[in-house]
Structure 1
């Protein structure tokens, strides 16, 4: 009996100790406005013991220790750690703050292929702009302008016309930054470039834009040097609703948009549709434009295992263009001067118009195989049709107003017998031609993810693409002529010009058909070979790659390895300037050089070029304490050259400089976070060898574009970036700031070629570029932004940016020309009226004023002519340089009804 009592005593002792050692913790999780957050995760740090908040944001759980920390998290909010003790177990409301860089709540589909920072714990230099800010601040500008308040980002070229902007990241042009739409690569396959007019609709359909500077984290078998920009579009939501908006702006701009979402029904189906229309005269003279955006998204969630989303979107548009003029001409005719337009019989005419229609289709499928295994796949296709117009033939000089003299052009063409003009001989006339760039592109990105345990995650995937492009010229406007005759000297299969009897052999084309520069008709037009002038060639680009990523992460430490291997093949098909000499059949050529009206069969395929590339990335981060974290990333790339670098002469001759580009990148970073304040410091060093660097300028003697290529260029980019964000005045004031200091230079020497608009080589030379400054992006930037909520429904925001160390965009040169520094200020107002029984409807008003203080500045320059004593200058710049002034003060206002 005594032993039993002793055993009972011991048992009661342990039970009491266990009970006394446990702590029951209660509390409430709320957002910044004090509203409860149902479904928030509450976890005892270092354990799997956790719970979720109820509908009122309340939670209750029992901890096995008398003290410790809770990890509180919710999608779209910054995770917070809160201490507890047995004496203080009934916690005060735990407030979570919105995470500016979080996109988890936005990504509904494609979670495995839409690779966003935060998808892995190892950090990168990243900035995120969500839909609310895009809609507030973008106004009438290109989507690239959403990224201007970001370190090491420079946007230029807006003055060229609607959608003609360019963006550089850490001094690397946009062809060296990866751009993705819901995980789908959208950089041009031929040259990597982005033509933002084709993507003008992203403003309307984006839920968020995230830019990862530097090595990035994209799950692609391709190396991006400047970084990775993810455009995440709206997807079919579970709740019914939509909006209608209308906007007006300077220079007769008008835009209207309608968006509607059906909401998800009981069978898991949902549909979202959107349509918008815009038009305007443009900031520069002769910069008219018009376009539409359509967006259709079908979502289907049959069960918890599968999720599908089908997307169709496009942005057909046309816009007239302004190119860089001599600064002297801007001083003579005004800063909005554009020499590419004029009038005939009082009607507006233009020489340079871009028109394009690029429907994009993609299907996202998320497959949750089990609790630890997922498969995400996107299948996509795009069908681009359109091009750009320009002069061909005997271009008449501009009139006294500096505009195209269409009266003289029509008079010249009217004097040609029977209106049958040509680009040669005594009957030279003038037409407006269209350079067409049509393509069909199909691809797939698929990612398999496996969580081996709570610390180790593995990804492997495929990146497959095939692209067929067609390039040719046609007549867009005869300008009073009835037909156009074209002659081109033929080449043999070895790229030698054919001769017969000491004279050249020519192909002869005569056409009386023209095609209007209309994006809708360009989508369905059929172009016969006999109607193509000047050139006609196609290319096939095929791409296949595999990528993998392994990440190990604990509470305080994470590390990852990412690698890829890919193969590209390129082949060119020329239908115009090649012929088999055996088909000439001894036909002679007159000594006058009159082209042969022969039926020579032409068409020669180039040799197929195949290149293998790879990239290796690794990185690690360490959390020192709750406020401090450090990281480092390193990458080695061997990147295949673009198609245009393989065939730079735009014939079937393969460049002898074709080789993979070698890239080595190193990044170090530090982040600091306390209540109401976060800051980041990022440093980088990127070496890039075996580059092909291109630039272009207008030949003042001909009015035509002249291109310069530098082969074998090496660049060294290094710098530091700092950004911060603070919440002040009870979270009513959001204060952000950034600065970036870069040192971007060329190293060594290059082989330099200058070509005319038809890609004929004008000159070739060796070029010492060592120490030359990389142009087209400001190497020093500084900025800050204030967003103050005066009331819950009324706010004002102000952004200021300063740019210095901006050099001319002339490619690789030894002595580049520095442009004057400048600063820009933007101001905006927002007001909201809520109504409806549940206050779930609203009217939103927005007004933006950009370049508030009317700063006069050069945003871009295509030549680097130094000012000598006695030369006329503007702010120290020789006025014979070709450049373009940035926009002056502009405004836009919008109203939006949410229902």
Structure 2
């Protein structure tokens, strides 16, 4: 490993987190000014396999949270939320449900962000999404979390467009011992975590295990969490050439949800009226009927005497709560296990890394089915909490000729049972002192069963579906099985000499899908649809040059032809194949600089990037054609400037800061014509007017800063600020079909949030260490909008637009649906390390 510079220990902790830009947040008090070379840092086989970027070497922009950072700042949030102090990264908990977080990097949502755990991709095989409730507790056992922005250092042939989020665990890096942590917090939060490590036994074996139990309410009505998480990792060194590692983790959980964004006036009339463009008349309609910031329409009270059972993936049993019922609840368990084999023969130029993994899950989400009564006097049509008591009474009274009660409305489970099996194999050859090459394969296959079942009959004995009496657990509405088959391969070459290092990578991928409908049979057998095989390609180039001991520059380029996701190939509601699966292309170019001053007290990183998304496609059913089509041709441009810096005023005081200026927008209008039969009578034309409209769903300007004070060894006090601007509401581009509508989507108010963290390792003369910690998130209880939907058709107020015809009245505050950010929350506790 070539040193970029020699740095004092005061900043050495930052090196493992730096970006091709910079930095971690480690703030341990330095104890010496001795100089250390970068060659002193080693990389484990797992880190090499996982494409972990290395400061001073990897020519991409990246940031990293170390284990110490996670302990100090995560505060038992989901991992994406800890990354909000990273440039161009935006994460929210959406409606506030545990595990319902989402992350956006450089304006791209999770479908175009590769999420890896120990080098294994965890994005959904059908649509690329990531469901963070499946990985609850991963922050407790993570050794580091690294975000590579842009094309990233990932050699797998997967489209990491916005970036790559890589979560690492490493049992072999632990000394013998363990940790017991007890946390308490706002809204009844309680979490107990126990972690143990064997340490290295006979220089051959090491293992770690962890288990955690979490219970919580929420600042949102009707939202709660009941979760476990577990982890096991082991490493066995068979001999000097062969090492085997095993990993397993899971997070069985249930939680109440708040899925629906609402009109701003639904939460607070005063806040709504304080916004430009919010029409006071909206408050007189049901759209804006004030219910408070904790409002959630997907739950309501029920008579505790009602004892109807409910079904989930564990079978049939009693309700969780006696006095209320959640309309929307999520329950899932998706463990993942893997076996890694590293072949590193001594005195050989070859190495070979392999991982075989399995991930299987069962669970789903709840909702209503049929006609379920709503509360009639709850503030109008758009505040429609379910009236469970009225529905139960109605169902109990609806008797058939045999005296059995037929339910007219029920609770249902939308189930998703799935498994994925995969194999990743990579071989590397050191051709010379300067040249190395690697190549590998990535094979995955997945099967996903989607079906609905009766969850709660709400007082009835059965629900009538297609002439059949369905009881608890009975399948209703649909039952289909999808398969996904993926094969990828890559070749990469790397060169390093003196002050220059660079790489080139080519990756190819193939994907195919199938759909089997077990609910609606045709000609006496299930309907089946098999897709074509779709090809994708990646090309990545990057290089870094050390100008001097203080300064290095880098650049990278990427070209990606993305394979289409399942949802743009087959409609798994109808089983109909789309006429024209998309062929989307991404190109990215980035230039960056790193600077470290002579004494290592200042680290500065800056980069500019430009990413073009060509031929983005949007799915649509065309009734005249009686077919599903993709409207292609939409182009997006994402470009920006990102800056990170860290400065030690002294050994006791450290300052961190990030800045991101982004410009994400649609580049063109689109005219799409569909004429598959070459018949003018059936030809369809669609026009989308998107040119210069900003891409929504994340703030395009971000600023963060933080001060850490370390008055004595083991005591860290940190205050941090994050400021977000130009957060344009998300919207459906298919709705921009009027040439006169050139108005930007509604821009949510800019906001600033302060967080406070304190950790104190108590002085001790024993082998047992105690640490007290306190986290105050949103310390000043700022009321702010974190997610918004423009011109919402369900809870937006549009009477002003219908009266004026002015599109400014459509894309305004009273037309939006929003989720507010979380209020002040406290997380505190004690950990015992032994």
TM-score normalised over the length of structure 2: 0.83
Partner residue, 2:761? 832
In 2, Cα distance between equivalents of 1:29 and 1:771:
45
Q: Which SS does the other structure have where 2:713 is aligned? A: coil
Task: For residues 234-269 of structure 1, give each alpha carbon's deviation from its aligned partner in whole angstroms, at most 9, with x where no partner exists.
Answer: 424463101000101100010000011122222722
In 2, Cα distance between equivalents of 1:710 and 1:282:
41
Q: Which SS does the other structure have where 2:728 is aligned? A: coil
Partner residue, 1:257? 193
Q: Which SS does the other structure have where 1:146 is aligned? A: helix
Task: For residues 822-865 of structure 1, give each alpha carbon's deviation from its aligned partner in whole angstroms, at most 9, with x where no partner exists.
Answer: 1111011111114344xx43101110111111111111112326
* Closer, same or farther: CA 430–96 of 1 in aligned 2, 3 Å: farther
Partner residue, 1:556? 499
Task: For residues 532-551 of structure 1, give each alpha carbon's deviation from its aligned partner in whole angstroms, at most 9, with x where no partner exists.
Answer: 11011111111111112111
Q: Which SS does the other structure have where 1:790 is aligned? A: strand
Match of 2:360 among 383, 406, 429: 383
Partner residue, 2:390? 408
Match of 2:60 among 99, 108, 124: 124
Task: For residues 249-304 of structure 1, give each alpha carbon's deviation from its aligned partner in whole angstroms, at most 9, with x where no partner exists.
Answer: 10001000001112222272232111000011122111111100011122211222
Partner residue, 2:281? none
Count of matched residue pairs: 736
In 1, Cα distance between equivalents of 2:139 and 2:114:
18
- Residue correspondence of structure 1 range 31-70 to structure 2 within 5 A: 31-32=9-10
Task: For residues 847-892 of structure 1, give each alpha carbon's deviation from its aligned partner in whole angstroms, at most 9, with x where no partner exists.
Answer: 0111111111111112326988979999x95335321111111111
Match of 1:853 among 777, 780, 793: 780
Contact 2:17–2:64, Cα closer than 8 Å, also in 1:
no
Partner residue, 1:366? 342
Partner residue, 1:747? 667
Cα displacement (A) at 1:31: 4.3
Partner residue, 1:190? 126
* Closer, same or farther: CA 31–782 of 1 in aligned 2, 3 Å: closer
Match of 2:605 among 680, 696, 700: 680
In 2, Cα distance between equivalents of 1:410 and 1:180:
46
In 2, Cα distance between equivalents of 1:434 and 1:383:
19
Partner residue, 1:656? 579
Cα displacement (A) at 1:709: 8.6
* Closer, same or farther: CA 366–854 of 1 in aligned 2, 3 Å: same
Partner residue, 1:341? 299
In 2, Cα distance between equivalents of 1:785 and 1:752:
49
Contact 2:155–2:507, Cα closer than 8 Å, also in 1:
no
- Residue correspondence of structure 1 range 399-548 to structure 2 within 5 A: 400-401=377-378, 403-418=385-400, 429-487=408-466, 508-514=467-473, 531-548=474-491
Partner residue, 1:398? 375
* Closer, same or farther: CA 631–198 of 1 in aligned 2, 3 Å: same
Contact 1:109–1:365, Cα closer than 8 Å, also in 2:
no
* Closer, same or farther: CA 75–367 of 1 in aligned 2, 3 Å: farther
* Closer, same or farther: CA 443–869 of 1 in aligned 2, 3 Å: closer
- Residue correspondence of structure 1 range 819-898 to structure 2 within 5 A: 819-837=748-766, 840-864=767-791, 877-898=812-833
Contact 1:156–1:167, Cα closer than 8 Å, also in 2:
yes
Contact 1:243–1:898, Cα closer than 8 Å, also in 2:
yes
Partner residue, 1:758? none
In 1, Cα distance between equivalents of 2:689 and 2:7:
63
- Residue correspondence of structure 1 range 756-835 to structure 2 within 5 A: 766-812=687-733, 813=736, 815-835=744-764
Contact 2:58–2:153, Cα closer than 8 Å, also in 1:
no
- Residue correspondence of structure 1 range 546-695 to structure 2 within 5 A: 546-580=489-523, 601-648=524-571, 650-674=573-597, 675-693=600-618
- Residue correspondence of structure 1 range 242-281 to structure 2 within 5 A: 242-266=178-202, 268-281=204-217
In 1, Cα distance between equivalents of 2:391 and 2:152:
52
Q: Which has the higher contact order (CA 8 A, sep 6+)?
A: 2
Cα displacement (A) at 1:328: 2.4
Partner residue, 2:658? 738
* Closer, same or farther: CA 689–420 of 1 in aligned 2, 3 Å: farther
Contact 1:629–1:672, Cα closer than 8 Å, also in 2:
yes
Does residue 143 in structure 1 map to residue 79 in structure 2?
yes
Cα displacement (A) at 1:657: 3.0
* Closer, same or farther: CA 804–793 of 1 in aligned 2, 3 Å: same
Cα displacement (A) at 1:473: 0.5
Coordinate RMSD, CA, aligned: 3.2
In 1, Cα distance between equivalents of 2:708 and 2:602:
15
Contact 1:78–1:96, Cα closer than 8 Å, also in 2:
no
Task: For residues 725-780 of structure 1, give each alpha carbon's deviation from its aligned partner in whole angstroms, at most 9, with x where no partner exists.
Answer: 11221x22221111111111123346899xxxxxxxxx995432222211111011
In 2, Cα distance between equivalents of 1:103 and 1:411:
72
Q: Which SS does the other structure have where 2:567 is aligned? A: helix
Q: Which SS does the other structure have where 2:343 is aligned? A: strand
Task: For residues 167-203 of structure 1, give each alpha carbon's deviation from its aligned partner in whole angstroms, at most 9, with x where no partner exists.
Answer: 1000000110101110101000100001111111211
Larger-Rg structure: 1
* Closer, same or farther: CA 724–238 of 1 in aligned 2, 3 Å: closer
Cα displacement (A) at 1:325: 1.9
Cα displacement (A) at 1:95: 2.1
Task: For residues 9-48 of structure 1, give each alpha carbon's deviation from its aligned partner in whole angstroms, at most 9, with x where no partner exists.
Answer: xxxxxxxxxxxxxxxxxxx9984499xx9xxxxxxxxxxx
Task: For residues 337-372 of structure 1, give each alpha carbon's deviation from its aligned partner in whole angstroms, at most 9, with x where no partner exists.
Answer: 000001111502110001100010011111112343
Cα displacement (A) at 1:307: 1.4
Contact 2:134–2:252, Cα closer than 8 Å, also in 1:
yes
Partner residue, 1:200? 136
In 2, Cα distance between equivalents of 1:482 and 1:750:
53
Task: For residues 540-578 of structure 1, give each alpha carbon's deviation from its aligned partner in whole angstroms, at most 9, with x where no partner exists.
Answer: 111111112111112211221011011111111111234
- Residue correspondence of structure 1 range 152-167 to structure 2 within 5 A: 152-167=88-103
Q: Which SS does the other structure have where 1:748 is aligned? A: coil
In 1, Cα distance between equivalents of 2:402 and 2:353:
58
Q: Which SS does the other structure have where 1:644 is aligned? A: helix
Contact 2:406–2:461, Cα closer than 8 Å, also in 1:
no
Moved more, 391-400 or 239-248: 391-400
Cα displacement (A) at 1:670: 1.4
Q: Which SS does the other structure have where 1:787 is aligned? A: strand
Moved more, 364-373 or 848-857: 364-373
In 1, Cα distance between equivalents of 2:544 and 2:369:
58
Contact 2:87–2:659, Cα closer than 8 Å, also in 1:
yes
Does residue 356 in structure 1 map to residue 332 in structure 2?
yes
Cα displacement (A) at 1:616: 0.4
* Closer, same or farther: CA 577–482 of 1 in aligned 2, 3 Å: same
Task: For residues 772-808 of structure 1, give each alpha carbon's deviation from its aligned partner in whole angstroms, at most 9, with x where no partner exists.
Answer: 2111110110111111111112221011011111111
* Closer, same or farther: CA 421–263 of 1 in aligned 2, 3 Å: farther
In 2, Cα distance between equivalents of 1:103 and 1:660:
46
Partner residue, 1:95? 34
Does residue 714 in structure 1 map to residue 635 in structure 2?
yes
Contact 2:439–2:490, Cα closer than 8 Å, also in 1:
yes
Q: Which SS does the other structure have where 1:126 is aligned? A: strand
Does residue 282 in structure 1 map to residue 221 in structure 2?
no
In 1, Cα distance between equivalents of 2:586 and 2:403:
51
In 1, Cα distance between equivalents of 2:618 and 2:163:
18
